[in-house]
Amino acid sequence: MSASSATATIGEPIELRVVVRAEPGVAGIRVTVPAGAYDVVGRNARPAVGSAAGSTFEEVITIAFFQTGDFTVGPFQIELLPRREDSASESTGQLAIRVRSLLGENDKDIKPLKELLAMRGDPRHLLPYAAALLLALLLGAVALLLRRRLKRKKELAAEPPLLPELELERGIRELRGKNLWQAGEFRPFFITLSGLLKHFLERAYGFNAEECTTAETVAGIRSREADTGVVAGLEGIFTLADLVKFARLVPEAEAESNIWKQVDSLVAEHRKRRRLAEEAAHVPPGR
């Protein structure tokens, strides 16, 4: 490498060719690159070319600058590696390089790129920042979930609940739409039906039917309902439900229509009672 000058842009790879012509007996060369304002990004030793007069050795050293300014490269120390024990050394000339920015002609407007890219070798120092980011994302997700739940509660509070008989009627309509009976899914059918009826009894009669056994539920109905037809209809449904759920009984086909008649009669009776009570109190009918 002879003494000269050149111009490069920041981050641009610069190839420096070190060529040594040595006398016979030299087996190779060792090039020592001094420290400088550049980074060595590659080295490539080319195959030696031999002749009667000696050998030619070449090594390509690739460097790059990550800050702007005027710099010099070299001299490189070259050690001749002979085939015998004695050795010799030489040195190259210097190369002056002006490094410019990629983004403009005014180098002072651009800060050194290497400073922006400098990172410690162990990435574990980034863990606190990653943990803080994850915590922020988690807190954001929790806040969003709580906001949605609060909004849903406000919406539910703004809407008055359905009357017990209307809520039961809606639940029965959804159950019939599932066609569980037609599919032979009798146990899921009666589990759902029992849950709907017990929830209705809890709201309409004021006792915790959902936590009661069938015997306790029937006893609670008898102590609160004067209509023996209503009591007998509910008792029949709960008894059949227990036989299907626990004894694996397969109900008769006509049992389905009887169940719907009993439930329709229960809903109609409570609607009539509410209407009469509202008329007596001169209150407009509820929804």
- Please report the pLDDT score of residue 214 as a whole number: 92
Closest CA to 63 of 115, 102, 109, 14: 14
Q: Are 184 and 190 in contact (CB under 8 A)?
A: no
pLDDT value, residue 221: 94
Helices 255-281, 186-205: inter-axial angle, 10-degree rounding: 20
Model pLDDT, residue 243:
95
Nearest residue to 107 via CA among 144, 70, 139: 70
Q: What is the pLDDT of residues 85-141, one digit of tens each?
A: 555 666 677 777 777 766 555 555 555 555 544 455 566 777 788 888 888 888 888
Give the pairing type, strands 88-91 and 77-82: antiparallel
Specify the DSSP element, H or E, that contains 41.
strand 38-51
Residue among 220, 265, 263, 213 nearest 239 (CA): 213
* 18: amino acid identity, one letter: V
Amino acid sitting at position 191: I
DSSP secondary structure, 50-114, as one string? EETTEEEEEEEEEEEESS-EEEEE-PPEEEEEESSS--EEEE---EEEEEE-SS-S-GGGS--HH
Tell me the mean pLDDT per 10 residues along the chain, length 287.
Answer: 72 86 83 88 86 85 87 85 65 73 55 51 73 87 88 73 92 95 95 95 94 94 94 94 93 94 94 90 62
The pLDDT value recorded for residue 2 is: 56
Query: Which residue type sits at 44?
Result: N
